[in-house]
Every structure is written in C-alpha cells, then in structure tokens.
Structure 1
C-alpha cells in the first residue's frame, strides 16, 4: 500500500514500507553509484519493488538506499503515459562501463525493449553519478546529461539526501 501526496497539478509522490529505504549494513564493494529508475508500462510501482528485491539478492551489488517514487509527465515523446521515477543508491566493485552493462542486462530481465528515443518502457536504469567520476564516451556520460534539469531526478534525489 502506498501513501500518495500531490505536489502540484502534474507531480505526485508515493511512499510505502520499501520506498524510501535505507540499508545500514556494511558492504565490501568499492564504488557508490546513484541510479535513476523509471518506467511507464504496466504496474511500475510493483515492478520497482521487484527490482529492489532482485538487486538485494545480487552479490555483485549492495542496495544502499531507495527514494520515494515520483509520478511525473513524460518529456521528449509526450504521447505516452506518465512515468514513475525513483533513485537508488548502489555499492559495487564494477567499473562504470561494466556497471552500465549490468544495468542494461537488468533492464532486459524486466522486459525492456528499445524502440526509439524516449519511448514507453517497462524499466529504465540510468547512472546519474558514479562516485566522483566524470566519464564521457559514446555509450556513457557520467554525471548523466541534464540530470539537474529533471524533476524525475531532482525530487527523488532530494529525498535520499535529506
């Protein structure tokens, strides 16, 4: 069950027992990654809960924190349903490119299909930050481009940093 609160005409936040969540156990992994999570196809809130459980079971990563869930309008291609977005903080020993490949495999496990830019999707995982690293390649940009302009990142990020 979720507690819902309307922020304005187009934004709503959701909280439940699993989001937000903070893990207090220690992890031997080396790097901290902040990951944007979103989707707008099917029961996204349920899928996010399944994602959190999936990540918790994976020894290659440690789930440190989850944020509230934000329901917000799409951008880019706007003829689609609203998105549900969250932030998760993960500890890993993978390098950034290896971690990106890991996230893409997780997306695929949760039935992500890539049809066109900003298309509707079951799950979208974006690396927002990776420790204090700056990476700029054809496949990966860290920090994520324009993260600071998107409510879908800023509002959940503010929730985990308070």
Structure 2
C-alpha cells in the first residue's frame, strides 16, 4: 500500500514501507553508491518491491535508504507510458565497474531487454553517484551525466535528504 501525493499535473510521489526506507544499521562495506531505478512496463511498483528484497538478500550490497517513488512523464522517446523512478542508496565493496556489471546482471534477471535509447523498459538501474568519484570512460560516467537535469533524479534525491 502506498500513500500518494500529487506534486502537479504530471508528477505523483508514492511512499510505502520499502520506498521511504532508511536504516541506521552499521555496514561492513566501504563504498556508498546511489542508484537510480526506473521502469514503465508492467507492474513497476511491484517490481521495485521485488528488487528491494533482492538487494536486501544480496551478499554484494547493503541497502541503506530508498526514496519515495516518483511517477513522471518519459523524456527522449515520448510515445510511451509514464515512468516510475526512485533512488536506492547502497553500500558495497565492489569497484565502480564491478557495480556496473552487477546492476546489468540484476536488470537482466528482472527481464530487461535493450532495444533502443530511451525505450520502454521493465527495469533500468543507473549509477548516479559512487562515493565522490568522477569517472568518465566509454562504459561508465559518474556522476551520471544528466542527473542535474532530470526530475526523476532530483525529486527522489530531495526526498532522501528531507
């Protein structure tokens, strides 16, 4: 069950038990990673719930915090359903490239198929921040190059730090 708050005609924020989550538990891992999650195919909020439990059971990451879920219009390719987006803050011992591979494996496990840029998708996982690292190579750019321009990142980010 989610509480919902309409922000405007196009944006709705959903808060539930697992999205709006925060732990104060100590962690054994050293790296803090903020991951953007998104999707617009099928029951996305339910898929996010499954993702939360998958990450909680994982031995490779620990879930520190989640934002509320934002429903927002697509950008880029606009002829598709609205997206649901949230942020998950994790701790890990993986390097940025290992984390990228791990997230791609998780996307695949949750049915992600890649067709074209900004296409509809079941689950999209993006590294937004990795510690305070600046990475700019062919496979990975951190911080995410467009995070400052996207409501799908900015609104959940503000929600994390309320």
Normalising by the residue count of structure 1, what TM-score does the alignment of the two structures yield? 0.99
Partner of 1:138: 138
Distance in 2 (CA, whole Å) between partners of 1:142 and 1:126 is 10
Unmatched segments (≥5 aa) in structure 1: none
Q: Deviations over 1:50-70 (max 9, x none)?
A: 000000000110000000000
Deviation, 1:43, is 0.2
- In the alignment of these two chains, the number of paired residues is 162
Q: 1:26 corresponds to which residue?
A: 26
The aligned residue for residue 39 of structure 1 is 39
User: Structure 2 regions of 5+ residues with no counterpart?
Assistant: none
Equivalent in the alignment of 1:54? 54
What is the CA distance between 1:129 and its match in structure 2?
0.3
Partners of 1:31 and 1:18 lie apart in 2 by: 22
CA distance in 1, matches of 2:122, 2:24: 29
Normalising by the residue count of structure 2, what TM-score does the alignment of the two structures yield? Answer: 0.99
CA distance in 2, matches of 1:26, 1:44: 30
Instruction: Report the aligned-residue RMSD.
Output: 0.5
